[in-house]
Amino acid sequence: KNQVEQSPQSLIILEGKNCTLQCNYTVSPFSNLRWYKQDTGRGPVSLTIMTFSENTKSNGRYTATLDADTKQSSLHITASQLSDSASYICVVSAQTSYDKVIFGPGTSLSVIP
Amino acid sequence: EPEVTQTPSHQVTQMGQEVILRCVPISNHLYFYWYRQILGQKVEFLVSFYNNEISEKSEIFDDQFSVERPDGSNFTLKIRSTKLEDSAMYFCASSEGHYRSYEQYFGPGTRLTVT
């Protein structure tokens, strides 16, 4: 069964600290993996897109890694800011069709002063 | 910066009524999508639309749903006979090219409440 799991479910960190969010998936055949940031009550905003051949992708303070062998991805946030408080969603799509787009449940990140 | 817009931001309707949710994708984008997110749950794919026809749809997108691009700018989602379980946030998205290779840009969402 195609699934995307994320951990932790929620995380609280101090402003300025780094954190790493995890994503495990069983989606097959793999096409790409995306990380989105979703503020409360807003639409998701794309952070990174990675295909099978990419194992790291950066977007400012966000760095995503992908291990296609173990089917794991991580999103590392450096020097966190209060505005980083949001839900971070891992989305994996299969190679064949759109209806294999699987959203993870998200990790709720709270950055506190 | 171009953005996807959606109207209304909040729609309240009675069970059994028809609703139309509206979206204006980014102007040079060719692919359009609808997603929904029930409160506290994951985002779920509903349908994708390209070249004036549905290209993919999920199991959720049954006969009560339909999509249309009535003119050159709007993209609509119609729910024919709403049920309580249709209450959710509905997100429209668009992309310049095929989802596999292009960024998807999401709108702010329409919160649908069915009473």
Nearest chain B CA: its distance from A99 CA (Å): 5
Chain B within 8 Å of A96 (Cβ-Cβ)? no
Q: How many CB atoms lie within 10 A of CB B9?
A: 10
Tell me the per-residue pLDDT of A43-90, one tens digit each, with 9 for 90 and over.
Answer: 899 999 998 889 999 999 999 999 999 999 999 999 999 999 999 999
Q: How many CB atoms lie within 10 A of CB B94?
A: 26
Tell me the per-residue pLDDT of B48-87, one tens digit each, with 9 for 90 and over.
Answer: 999 999 988 888 999 999 999 988 789 999 999 999 999 9
Largest Cα–Cα distance in chain B?
Answer: 40
The pLDDT score that the predictor gives to residue A53 is 87
Which positions in chain A touch B103 (Cβ < 8 Å)? 46, 49
Q: For a pLDDT cut of 70, what percent of chain A falls above it?
A: 96
The pLDDT score that the predictor gives to residue A91 is 92
For A88, nearest residue in chain B (alpha carbons): B42
Q: Which helix (H) or strand (E) holds A108?
A: strand A107-112
pLDDT band at A96 (very low <50, low <70, confident <90, very high): low
C-alpha distance across the termini of chain A, in Å: 41
Task: Give the tokens for residue B61.
Answer: 């997108």
Torsion of CA A52, A61, A102, B34, to 10 degrees: -120
Give the Cα separation of A105 and A102 in Å (integer).
10
CB A99 within 8 A of CB B57: yes
